[in-house]
Structure 1
Amino acid sequence: MDASASEPTLATVVDDEFVRYFRHLATRVERAVRCLPREKTWDKPFSFGNSVGHLVLHLTGNLNHFVGSIVAGTGYVRDRPQEFSDPRHEPAEAILARFHEAVEMTVKTIQAQDASGLMSPAGAQMPIETRFGLFLICTAHLNNHIGQMSYLVQALGHNTEEPPSW
Structure 2
Amino acid sequence: MSSDIFITLFSRDLKKLRKEIEQYPSENTLWVQLPGTINPGGNLCQHLIGNLRTYVGLTLGRHAYVRDRDAEFNQKTFTQVQMLTEIDALHEIVISTLGTLDEAKMEEEYPRHVLDLFPEQSVRLTLTHLLAHLSWHLGHINYHRRWATQIQTGKQ
The two structures have a TM-score, normalised by structure 2, of 0.83
Structure (1 or 2) with the greater strand fraction: 1
Query: Aligned residue for 1:136?
Result: 128
Alignment root-mean-square deviation, CA: 1.8
Corresponding residue of 2:51: 62
Structure 1 contact 63–103 (Cα < 8 Å) conserved: no
Q: 1:52, 1:152 within 8 Å by CA — same for their partners in 2?
A: yes
Question: Match for 2:15 among 9, 27, 46?
Answer: 27
Contact conserved, 1:57 with 1:99, CA < 8 A, in 2? no
How do 1:75-154 residues align onto structure 2 when only pairs under 5 Å count? 75-88=64-77, 90-123=78-111, 124-126=113-115, 127=118, 129-154=121-146
Q: Percent identical across equivalent pairs?
A: 22
Greater Cα radius of gyration, structure 1 or 2: 1
User: Separation in 2 of the partners of 1:85 and 1:137?
Assistant: 24
Please state if 1:53 is matched with 2:45: no
Q: Distance in 1 between matches of 2:144 and 2:124?
A: 31
Name the CA distance, whole Å, in 1 between partners of 2:48 and 2:37: 19
Calculate the TM-score normalised by the size of structure 1: 0.79
CA distance in 1, matches of 2:45, 2:149: 19
| Residue type of the alignment partner of 2:66 | V
